Amino acid sequence: MTKKEKELEHDRQTLQMMSRVSKHAEVQQILDSQESKDSWQIAFYIMAFAAGCLCTTALMMALNILH
């Protein structure tokens, strides 16, 4: 290989590596956004469960007072 061919091969390999790094960063960003979305969803379900428990307890107390 001539010097020019070696340089072209090196540039091609460099571009391939940069492309892979870019794709990896995009995939990582997608995974991070899904992870944060999942954690918010879990927090929402916990809060909804706690609110349901409080409402049930309040209803039971109100019914006990009326009896």
DSSP 51: H
The pTM (predicted TM-score) of the whole model is 0.46
Distance of CA 47 to the CA centre of its chain: 20
Instruction: Please state which of the ranges 18-22, 27-31, 34-38, 59-63 shows the lowest mean pLDDT.
Output: 34-38
pLDDT value of residue 34 = 73
Mean pLDDT taken over the chain: 85
Tell whether the model's pLDDT for residue 39 goes beyond 80. Answer: no
Q: How confident is the model at residue 50 (pLDDT cuts 50, 70, 90)?
A: very high
In contact, 1 and 9? CB cutoff 8 Å: yes
Tell whether the model's pLDDT for residue 8 goes beyond 80. Answer: yes
**CA–CA separation, 40 vs 23, rounded Å?**
26
**Could you identify the residue written with the tokens 């001539």?**
2
